[in-house]
Amino acid sequence: MSSAKRLVRQKTRIEKTSESQYSAAKTLPYQTLRSLLCVFTGFIIATIFAIPLGILCGLNKTFMCAFTPFIAIFKPVSPIVWLPIGLIVVGGFIPDPENNALLSIINKLPIFSSFDVNPAFLASAITVALCSLWPTLVNTALGVSSIDVDHLNVARVLNLRFRERLISVIIPSALPLIFAGLRISIGVGWMVLIAAELLASSEGIGKFVWDMFNNGSSDSFAQMFVVVFLVGGIGLLLDRIMIVFQRLVSFDETAPSV
């Protein structure tokens, strides 16, 4: 009797696994969209912090000297290190995901409503942000610090307030290098995300690959190679989009065209 029950439970588990995890035709588009949503969430978080910090570093040499060691320390840290920290932090703030007000608010937003945002998603997005903010920060600081001194002097002569100088002189002059940093950051974020999803068991392309690996069927190897080309193709598309924006804000023909 007990053997029969075990067989029934095993059959049910196999059926659920085959329906939910290994249905490539149904799940791959969803996993891809979820991964794109996660990488853009992390990319936006990184941009929100990186650009203001980069502007501050570029305008203030003292702050730049003080902040440079932190960049040198944290920039090389692997996503494999950041991800467990992100999971711990998210778990501390969201101990009960089922009854958390923040997750409820996020999941009610139109862009997130179809993807069931959970702590693993947030931890993956935070990992993407922590790994991808450095190129934008460094390039923003370089762009601001390399602004022609004559432009800043003219702004002072015109008695422009700091906000006016920031909007009219500093940001427009630094935009080419800012977008160069954003281009690198989106590529780094996309590369980091796959590993983060795989390790965090967060739904997305990374988990899809892991499920195919665990499946062990004869089709899994071919499906994983499809994902390899899919990831590469999306990365290429994101890079081309950033190149278009970079050329739009460049002042000469030296901006990258490939």
For the stretch 135-160, pLDDT in tens is 999 999 999 988 888 887 888 888 88
Residue 118 lies in a domain: yes
Residue 72 lies in a domain: yes
Axis-axis angle for helices 220-248, 24-59 (nearest 10): 30
CATH at residue 185: 1.10.3720.10
- Phi first, then psi: what are they for 163, rounded to 5°? -60, -40
> At CA 188, angle to CA 182 and CA 189, rounded to 5?
85
* Residues 6 or more apart whose Cβ sits within 8 Å of residue 163: none
Q: How far apart are CA 159 and CA 165, in angstroms?
A: 9
Range of the domain at 141: 28-248
Furthest-apart CA pair in the chain: how many Å? 92
Residue for token digits 């690198």? 184
pLDDT band for 172, please (50, 70, 90 cuts): confident
Residue 256 lies in a domain: no
How far apart are the two ends of the chain, measured CA to CA in Å?
67
The amino acid occupying position 244 is V
| Residue 159 confidence (pLDDT) | 81
Structure tokens at 68: 């440079």
Residue 9 lies in a domain: no
If one counts the domains in the chain, the total is 1
Q: What is the pLDDT of residues 48-70, one digit of tens each?
A: 999 999 999 998 889 999 999 99
Residue 144, sorted as left (phi over 0), alpha (psi -120 to 50) or beta, turns out to be: alpha
Residue 194 lies in a domain: yes
Comparing C-alpha atoms, which of 191, 85, 189, 173 is closest to residue 135?
Answer: 189
Residue for token digits 């370089």? 142
Its pTM stands at 0.82
Residue 255 lies in a domain: no
Q: How far apart are CA 7 and CA 1, in angstroms?
A: 10
Higher-scoring residue by pLDDT: 244, 10: 244
| Residue 165 confidence (pLDDT) | 86
Has residue 8 got a pLDDT over 60? no
Structure tokens at 223: 């499906």
Residue 187 lies in a domain: yes
Q: What is the pLDDT of residues 69-78, one digit of tens each?
A: 999 999 988 8
Which secondary structure element, helix H or strand E, spans residue 69, and what is its range? helix 61-74
Residue 19 lies in a domain: no
Supply the mean pLDDT for the chain: 83
